[in-house]
């Protein structure tokens, strides 16, 4: 069996160079590859293009790479929780490609399925449609969207085995399964790493065939972006 287990995040990011395109799983701060992001920050690689649902918050998640100006371009669907992101975008320091969330998900899934492009009605009649081919299906206009191409994909799972099989927990499943399929090299960090064969095959969300490197993370903060509670009155 091909050995996929690496010792830590630093070993997992080996080979990443400045200017590469990276996918990073997660939704908000849920299910993000925290250890990998920290390792990328410490490595000093820059001019990165990052594909992620959002850009974290100012001091956590991909916000850490924005602080150090290591990201050249963000391809995302939602960026409303990051003040630094807004500042960098408006000043022209950061290239931004905003993509409808469903389209972002499908461009990831299509990449993993070997589908080079597809048509979707999302975004027609808006700035999203600028420069894109339009075809009509069943009386509705559709835009041609292309699958993503990423050098590496970083995902976070609850549990994984030494063969790279992954199980996500709850809403941390989000973009992680699709991105795990789409990277040329997929790096998975897990909260618990077990021997191959220990996971129930019926519970596996991402088969190990899609994962090239896996490691057990050290710790996870699991922050909440905006905590909303009822008043005591």
Model pLDDT, residue 225: 74
Q: How many whole angstroms separate alpha carbon 181 and alpha carbon 227?
A: 32
Q: Around Cβ 1, how many Cβ atoms within 10 Å?
A: 8
Q: How confident is the model at residue 226 (pLDDT cuts 50, 70, 90)?
A: confident
Cβ-proximal residues to 207 (8 Å cutoff; 6+ apart), any chain: 164, 165
Model pLDDT, residue 2: 84
pLDDT digits (tens, 9 = 90+) for 116-167: 999 999 999 999 999 999 999 999 999 999 999 999 999 999 999 999 999 9
pLDDT digits (tens, 9 = 90+) for 80-95: 778 899 899 999 999 9
Kindly list the domain boundaries of the chain, sorted by start residue: 9-117+149-216
Q: Around Cβ 34, how many Cβ atoms within 10 Å?
A: 25
pLDDT digits (tens, 9 = 90+) for 15-53: 999 999 999 999 989 999 999 999 999 999 999 999 999
Dihedral (C-alpha) 100, 60, 21, 98: value to the nearest 10 degrees?
A: 20
CB 42 within 8 A of CB 70: no
Q: Which long-range contacts (CB under 8 A, 24 or more apart) does 105-108 make?
A: 105/175, 105/178, 106/145, 107/145, 107/146, 107/147, 107/148, 108/23, 108/51, 108/148, 108/175, 108/178, 108/179, 108/181, 108/182
Q: How confident is the model at residue 111 (pLDDT cuts 50, 70, 90)?
A: very high
Q: How confident is the model at residue 227 (pLDDT cuts 50, 70, 90)?
A: confident
Q: Above 80 in pLDDT, residue 1?
A: no
Q: How confident is the model at residue 104 (pLDDT cuts 50, 70, 90)?
A: very high
CATH topology of domain 9-117+149-216: Glutaconate Coenzyme A-transferase (3.40.1080)
CA distances from residue 112 to 92, 153, 175, 198, 221 in whole angstroms, order as listed: 32, 11, 12, 26, 29
CB 23 within 8 A of CB 187: no
Q: Above 70 in pLDDT, residue 217?
A: yes
- Kindly state the average pLDDT of the residues 158-181: 97
Which of helix, strand or coil describes residue 171? helix
Q: Above 70 in pLDDT, residue 99?
A: yes
Q: How many CA atoms does the CB half-sphere of 34 hold within 13 Å?
A: 20
Q: Above 70 in pLDDT, residue 233?
A: no
Handedness of CA 166, 97, 35, 182 (dihedral sign): positive
């Amino acid at each position: 069996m091909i050995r996929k287990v690496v010792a830590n995040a630093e070993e997992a990011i080996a080979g990443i160079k400045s200017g590469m395109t990276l996918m990073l799983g997660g939704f908000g701060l849920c299910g993000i590859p925290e250890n990998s992001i920290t390792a990328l920050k410490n490595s000093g690689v820059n001019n990165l293009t990052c594909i992620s649902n959002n850009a974290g918050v100012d001091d956590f998640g991909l916000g850490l790479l924005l602080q150090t100006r290591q990201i050249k371009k963000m391809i995302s669907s939602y960026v409303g929780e990051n003040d630094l992101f807004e500042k960098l975008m408006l000043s022209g320091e950061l290239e931004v490609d905003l993509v409808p969330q469903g389209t972002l998900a499908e461009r990831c899934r299509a990449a993993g399925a070997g589908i080079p492009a597809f048509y979707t009605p999302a975004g027609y009649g808006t700035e999203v449609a600028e420069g894109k081919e339009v075809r009509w299906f069943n009386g509705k206009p559709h835009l041609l969207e292309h699958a993503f191409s990423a050098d590496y994909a970083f995902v976070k799972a609850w549990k994984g085995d030494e063969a790279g099989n992954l199980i996500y927990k709850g809403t941390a499943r989000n973009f992680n399964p699709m991105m795990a399929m789409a990277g040329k090299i997929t790096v998975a960090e897990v909260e618990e790493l077990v021997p191959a064969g220990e996971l129930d095959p019926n519970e596996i969300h991402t088969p190990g065939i899609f994962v090239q490197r896996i490691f057990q993370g050290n710790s996870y903060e699991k922050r909440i972006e905006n905590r909303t509670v009822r008043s005591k009155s």
